[in-house]
C-alpha cells in the first residue's frame, strides 16, 4: 500500500530538549525554546517540533510528519504524492471528509494539505473517512492562518503540558510563545466546490 507523502516514519524522530529562553519581545520576557536552538526552529512566531525527513523505518500511519505537512501547505503540494496540487490555471485541489473550519470572520481554514487531482480518486478509495463521504474543492490560494500545537505552562522553572493538541491562530501571541507547533493551518482563499468524475474530468 502506498504511503502518503505526509505520513510520519518512526525513524524520523529527532531527540530534543525543550527549555525556556529569554526573549526581549515576548510577553513575559521569555519563550519556549530548545537547549541548542537555532533561528530556523521558529517560523510564523512559533517554535516548531523538530522532525526528520529521511523516511527511515516504518510508516506511522496515523501520524503526520511536521516538516512535510508544513512544506505541503507552504508550497501547495499534494499530501499523497508530494507533487504540485495546483492546476494549469493555478487553482489548488482539496478533498475533505468534513467542511473546513471557520475563523471569527467566517473565512475557511484547514490543517489538511491539498490533494492533487490525480491522487483524489485513490485518496477516496484508501481513506475510510473519505469513503464515508467527502467534498472536493479548489482554492485560488492559501495564507498561513494558525498552527496545531502543544501549549506548555511554566511552573517553578519547569515546563508542564497545558494542552496537547490545540488549534491556534497566528495572532494568539502569548499562547504561541509557549507553544510547540506540529502542523500549519492555512486559510483557503476563494474556495469553490468542484466535481471530479470517474474519468478524471472536472466540472
Q: Which residues bind Zn ion (CB under 5 A)?
A: 78, 80-81, 116, 119
State the nearest-atom distance from the C-beta of 58 to Zn ion, in Å: 22
> CA-CA distance, 140 to 143, in Å (whole number)?
10
State the nearest-atom distance from the C-beta of 94 to Zn ion, in Å: 12
State the nearest-atom distance from the C-beta of 126 to Zn ion, in Å: 12
Task: Specify the residue, 119 or 136, whose C-beta has the smaller distance to Zn ion.
Answer: 119
Task: Specify the residue, 94 or 145, whose C-beta has the smaller distance to Zn ion.
Answer: 94
Task: Specify the residue, 80 or 86, whose C-beta has the smaller distance to Zn ion.
Answer: 80
CB atoms near residue 11 (< 10 Å): 12
State the nearest-atom distance from the C-beta of 201 to Zn ion, in Å: 17
The Cα-based distances of 28 to 20, 42, 72, 163 in angstroms read 11, 18, 33, 19
Burial call 21-46: b when 16+ CB within 10 Å, e when fewer = eeeeebeeebbbbeeebeeebbeebb
Task: Specify the residue, 32 or 186, whose C-beta has the smaller distance to Zn ion.
Answer: 186
CB atoms near residue 127 (< 10 Å): 16
User: At residue 81, what are phi and psi to the nearest 5 degrees?
Assistant: -105, -15
Task: Specify the residue, 33 or 76, whose C-beta has the smaller distance to Zn ion.
Answer: 76
State the nearest-atom distance from the C-beta of 79 to Zn ion, in Å: 8
Task: Specify the residue, 33 or 111, whose C-beta has the smaller distance to Zn ion.
Answer: 111
State the nearest-atom distance from the C-beta of 178 to Zn ion, in Å: 36
Which residues, 6+ apart, have CB-to-CB distance to 31 below 8 Å?
20, 21, 23, 47, 177, 178
Q: Bridge-partner residues for 9, per DSSP?
A: 59
> CA-CA distance, 134 to 99, in Å (whole number)?
9
Amino acid at each position: 500500500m502506498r504511503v502518503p507523502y505526509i505520513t510520519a516514519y518512526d525513524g524520523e524522530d529527532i531527540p530534543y530538549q525543550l527549555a525556556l529562553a529569554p526573549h526581549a519581545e515576548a510577553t513575559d520576557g521569555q519563550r519556549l525554546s530548545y537547549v541548542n536552538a537555532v533561528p530556523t526552529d521558529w517560523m510564523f512566531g512559533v517554535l516548531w517540533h523538530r522532525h526528520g525527513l529521511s523516511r527511515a523505518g516504518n510508516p506511522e500511519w496515523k501520524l503526520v510528519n511536521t516538516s512535510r505537512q508544513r512544506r505541503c501547505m507552504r508550497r501547495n503540494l499534494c499530501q499523497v504524492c508530494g507533487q504540485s496540487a495546483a492546476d494549469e490555471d493555478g487553482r489548488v485541489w482539496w478533498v475533505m471528509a468534513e467542511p473546513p473550519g471557520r475563523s471569527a470572520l467566517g473565512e475557511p481554514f484547514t490543517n489538511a494539505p491539498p490533494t492533487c487531482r490525480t491522487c483524489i480518486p485513490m485518496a477516496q478509495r484508501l481513506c475510510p473517512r473519505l469513503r464515508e463521504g467527502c467534498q472536493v474543492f479548489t482554492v485560488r490560494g492559501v495564507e498561513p492562518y494558525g498552527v496545531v500545537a502543544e501549549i506548555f505552562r511554566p511552573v517553578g522553572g519547569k515546563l508542564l503540558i497545558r494542552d496537547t493538541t490545540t488549534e491556534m491562530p497566528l495572532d494568539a501571541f502569548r499562547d504561541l510563545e509557549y507553544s510547540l507547533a506540529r502542523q500549519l493551518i492555512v486559510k483557503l482563499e476563494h474556495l469553490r466546490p468542484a466535481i471530479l468524475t470517474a474519468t478524471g474530468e472536472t466540472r
